[in-house]
Amino acid sequence: MDMNSVLDLKPFLPAEDYALAKQFYLDLGFTMVWEGDQLAAFQVGEFRFLLQNYYVKELADNFMMHLLVKDADAWWQLIQDKKIAEKYPGIMAKPPTLQPWGLRVLYLSDPSGVLWHIADDRKHPQTAEAFQELR
């Protein structure tokens, strides 16, 4: 098999309240490229994920997404400007902080408990090179 024949890879994120979860991602600036009763596709840049109208607490509480961006501070500002934490009580939102592994990471949970690591590597270009090698 030619491993270069892979065309796409998308995770399925759980949603406890499907309508609320869709609105959360729209408020964050993701584009909903299509939707149905049980599944919606969201896009940011060239990357997509699928939001499913399905929820298992144990799955959601252990589900994490990593989004590497150019500027985590800009994402934090968006979260603050749109009052995401106030609009969605119970979510977790922590500002970008330098982590021991060299990335600046802001942590944001969605209304279902999925934890997003939104990170940048502006302070550590060697880390950026290592991540690019994984792509």
Q: Give the model's pLDDT for residue 133.
A: 59
- What pTM did the predictor assign? 0.87
Element (H, E) at 72: helix 72-81
Q: Give the model's pLDDT for residue 69.
A: 96
Q: Give the model's pLDDT for residue 123.
A: 63
Under CATH, domain 10-134 is a member of which superfamily?
Answer: 2,3-Dihydroxybiphenyl 1,2-Dioxygenase, domain 1 (3.10.180.10)
Q: Which residues contact 86 (CB under 8 A, 6 or more apart)?
A: none
Long-range contacts of 3-10 (CB under 8 A, 24+ apart): 8/48, 10/41, 10/48, 10/49, 10/50
Q: Give the model's pLDDT for residue 125.
A: 54
Q: Give the model's pLDDT for residue 122.
A: 75
Phi, psi of 104 (to 5 degrees): -90, 120
Beta bridge partners of 7: none
Task: Output the tens digit of pLDDT for each of the chain's 135 residues.
Answer: 888 899 999 999 999 999 999 999 999 999 999 999 999 999 999 999 999 999 999 999 999 999 999 999 999 999 999 999 999 999 999 999 999 989 999 999 999 999 999 999 876 555 555 555 555
